[in-house]
Amino acid sequence: MSKIIAVSNQKGGVSKTTVSYNLGACMALNHGKRVLLIDADPQANLSKYLGYEPDRSPTMTQLVMTACMNGAISSEITESAVRHCEKANVDYIPSDLNLASCEILMTSALSRETVLKRILSENVTDGYDFVIIDCLPSLGTMLINALTSADKVLIPVQTQEFSMDGLQALESLIQQIKTTINPKLELLGILPTMVDRTKISKYCIEILHEKYGGILFRTSISRAIEAANSAKNKIPLCLSTGKLSAEYENLTQEVIERC
Ligand SMILES: Nc1ncnc2c1ncn2[C@@H]1O[C@H](COP(=O)(O)OP(=O)(O)O)[C@@H](O)[C@H]1O
Ligand SMILES: [Mg+2]
């Protein structure tokens, strides 16, 4: 059975996409895992990172539209949306800007929380060890769908001023979804990202430790230019030689252990 991990934080720019891509790539390249990445953000940064070029096959937009309008969606349609990224050795379903308008469609659909769950049926996910959903920066219907489909939530937190604002709202949404539609949902861990030598970064890590203890990953991810270069060159960090390569390897080991 595959484990479905939602990478979420309603704040933008905290490393959700960088974590989704590099965790998936490291699982596949260093640990031989079969990985499916889902781009659930209309900004489609993950799709671009994976080297996606628009083509005629369906994206998340068409899948969500079909599932909203027809209720059920066949695994054949979903499978036709799956692409492969050679460099990261992962499969993925891309997104595009039109996914933004689907959020409105979803809001009025019957059983609107389970649209993504119906798309990611067991027939589709069974061949994978891990499915990683890169969530959009919002607490809207698409995020509720990601949390309804997921087994685990990974929350990257940028260790900067105001970074912990809003964490409470996300935690309370996770709790609500767990008690209503998805009892198996669990917090996989909180990941400090963009850690640097500043006082504010140190202070944030202390607060996170105090508040979350063992839920915090032992690994944290440093702020380093390698991250931007990896996105620009579309090369996974685990194939580089800098410190983010080792940090992502440690994170991947921890995630596999915790799952
Ligand atoms: N560890 C890091 N160090 C420095 N820059 C980073 C790091 N991780 C991500 N970035 C950069 O920060 C920006 C936001 O990261 P991204 O993963 O797109 O965040 P999100 O998906 O949460 O919006 C991107 O330009 C990315 O290259
Ligand atoms: Mg993103």
CATH classification at residue 76: 3.40.50.300
pTM of the model: 0.98
Mean pLDDT to the nearest integer, 175-198: 97
Can you give the pLDDT at residue 94? 98
Q: Is the pLDDT of residue 162 over 90?
A: no
Distance 16 CA to ligand 1 centre (A): 7
Mean pLDDT to the nearest integer, 51-68: 97
CA distance 27 to 125: 16
pLDDT-derived band of residue 161, with 50, 70 and 90 as boundaries?
A: confident
What's the gap between Cα 186 and its chain centre?
A: 14
CA distance 252 to 22: 9
Can you give the pLDDT at residue 133? 98
Distance 227 CA to ligand 2 centre (A): 13
Q: Is the pLDDT of residue 231 over 90?
A: yes
Mean pLDDT to the nearest integer, 215-223: 97
Q: Are 95 and 46 in contact (CB under 8 A)?
A: yes
Pocket test residue of 15, 155, 194, 244 for ligand 1, highest count of atoms within 8 A of CB: 15
Q: Are 117 and 38 in contact (CB under 8 A)?
A: no
Distance 74 CA to ligand 1 centre (A): 35
Domain count, the chain: 1
Can you give the pLDDT at residue 119? 97
Residue 6, φ and ψ in degrees, nearest 5? -95, 125
- Which numbered ligand comes closest to the C-alpha of 47? 2
pLDDT in tens, 88-122: 999 999 999 999 999 889 988 989 999 999 999 99
- Which numbered ligand comes closest to the C-alpha of 243? 1
Is the CB of residue 83 below 6 angstroms from any atom belonging to ligand 1?
A: no
Q: Is the pLDDT of residue 165 over 90?
A: no
Mean pLDDT to the nearest integer, 41-53: 98
Q: What are residue 83's DSSP bridge partners?
A: 92
Q: Is the pLDDT of residue 164 over 90?
A: no
Q: Are 23 and 252 in contact (CB under 8 A)?
A: yes
Mean pLDDT to the nearest integer, 39-53: 98
Tell me the residue range of the domain where 236 lies: 3-258
Distance 194 CA to ligand 1 centre (A): 8
Atom number in ligand 1 closest to CA 19 = 17
Ligand 1, atom 7, residue with closest C-alpha: 227
Is the CB of residue 26 below 6 angstroms from any atom belonging to ligand 1?
A: no
Ligand 1, atom 8, residue with closest C-alpha: 15
- Which numbered ligand comes closest to the C-alpha of 245? 1
pLDDT-derived band of residue 41, with 50, 70 and 90 as boundaries?
A: very high
Q: What percent of the chain has pLDDT over 90?
A: 94
Can you give the pLDDT at residue 87? 98
pLDDT-derived band of residue 42, with 50, 70 and 90 as boundaries?
A: very high
Atom number in ligand 1 closest to CA 20 = 17
Q: Mean pLDDT over all residues of the chain?
A: 96
* Helices assigned H by DSSP within the chain: 16-31, 45-49, 60-70, 75-79, 99-107, 115-119, 122-125, 141-149, 167-180, 199-212, 225-233, 243-258
- Which numbered ligand comes closest to the C-alpha of 44? 2
pLDDT-derived band of residue 63, with 50, 70 and 90 as boundaries?
A: very high
Nearest in space to 243 (alpha carbons), one of 230, 259, 256: 230
